[in-house]
């Protein structure tokens, strides 16, 4: 029964199956609020307050928080409750480097092993992403763009046979999403995301692994560069020197 393990490994990005339990429902709401910044980094998560906010019991919320520890979006300290995982530039640099290593390797394998159906899926995901890019001006559309961007990256490496690599990448992607929002808000470097994605698409379909991975590394690294050129006050109240 491979389905179970896949679901377990990819619990972080289950396509969009309806949450069947209150725990899962609270888990998703919490994760969304953390990634989108409504629950700020390093903020204390008091169970008594949050159980009203999300309309569940204390035990249920506690269980949802335990699941978020898996994604490293929440940190639990011994007997002193839960906190939103802190952020720092050093941490994002680590996330970016690790993600580049894994995602380039996955892409290399996908290019070597992908079949026709895989190519088709990539084209479809790219098309949907392009459509979302056009109407990115409105703030509402960002939600949709973020989702389609995730799917595009996911489909690119779908032909990679390593479940573990993809599992780790999905964790890193969600981590990076927190930082990406900071970057987009301030908009320091005007990027032409469409061209980046198109170059990635063409190199991949041409089965040019060297070129594709180079573009991918550049593409992922640009968000880090953007954040590095930002004033450090974005990370208000962090530790700062972790990695």
How many residues in the chain? 243
- Residue 9's binding partner among DNA, a second copy, none (Cβ under 5 to 8 angstroms by kind) is a second copy
Cα 115 to Cα 192: distance, rounded to the nearest angstrom: 29
Q: Give the interface size with a second copy as a residue count (CB under 8 A).
A: 49
Choice between 11 and 98, CB closer to DNA: 11
- Residue 97's binding partner among DNA, a second copy, none (Cβ under 5 to 8 angstroms by kind) is a second copy
Binding site for DNA (CB under 7 A): 20-23, 44-49, 55-60, 62, 76, 78-82
- List Cα–Cα distances, 48 to 55, 141, 216, in angstroms: 11, 34, 44
Q: Tokens for 239? A: 């530790």
Which residue among 25, 28, 36, 94 contacts a second copy (CB under 8 A)?
Answer: 94
Choice between 107 and 129, CB closer to a second copy: 107
- Residue 105's binding partner among DNA, a second copy, none (Cβ under 5 to 8 angstroms by kind) is a second copy
Which residues are paired to 45 by β-bridges? 82
Which residue among 54, 162, 184, 234 contacts a second copy (CB under 8 A)?
Answer: 162
Contacts of residue 143, Cβ cutoff 8 Å, sequence gap at least 6: none
Annotate each residue in 43-82 with x if it binds a second copy (CB under 8 A) or - if it does not, as one string: ----------------x--xx--xx-xxxx-xxxxxx---
Is the Cβ–Cβ distance between 156 and 204 less than 8 Å?
A: yes
Is the Cβ–Cβ distance between 45 and 65 less than 8 Å?
A: yes
- Residue 45's binding partner among DNA, a second copy, none (Cβ under 5 to 8 angstroms by kind) is DNA
Q: Tokens for 22? A: 């209150």
């Amino acid at each position: 029964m491979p389905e179970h393990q896949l679901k377990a490994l990819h619990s972080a990005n289950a396509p969009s199956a309806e949450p069947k339990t209150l725990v899962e429902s609270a888990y998703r709401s919490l994760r969304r609020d953390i990634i989108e910044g409504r629950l700020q980094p390093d903020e204390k998560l008091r169970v008594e307050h949050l159980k009203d906010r999300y309309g569940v019991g204390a035990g249920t919320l506690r269980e949802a928080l335990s699941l978020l520890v898996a994604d490293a979006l929440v940190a639990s300290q011994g007997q002193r409750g839960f906190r939103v995982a802190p952020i720092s530039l050093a941490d994002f640099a680590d996330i970016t480097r690790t993600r580049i290593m894994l995602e380039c390797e996955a892409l290399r394998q996908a290019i070597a092993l992908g079949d026709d159906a895989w190519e088709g899926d990539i084209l479809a995901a790219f098309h949907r992403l392009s459509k979302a890019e056009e109407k990115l001006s409105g703030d509402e559309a960002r939600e949709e763009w973020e989702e389609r961007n995730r799917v595009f990256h996911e489909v690119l490496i779908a032909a990679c046979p390593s479940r573990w690599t993809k599992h780790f990448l999905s964790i890193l992607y969600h981590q990076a999403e927190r930082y990406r929002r900071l970057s987009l808000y301030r908009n320091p470097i005007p990027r032409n995301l469409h061209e980046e994605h198109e170059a990635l698409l063409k190199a991949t379909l041409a089965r040019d692994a060297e070129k594709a991975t180079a573009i991918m590394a550049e593409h992922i690294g640009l968000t880090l560069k953007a954040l590095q050129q930002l004033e450090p006050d974005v990370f208000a109240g962090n530790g700062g020197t972790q990695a």
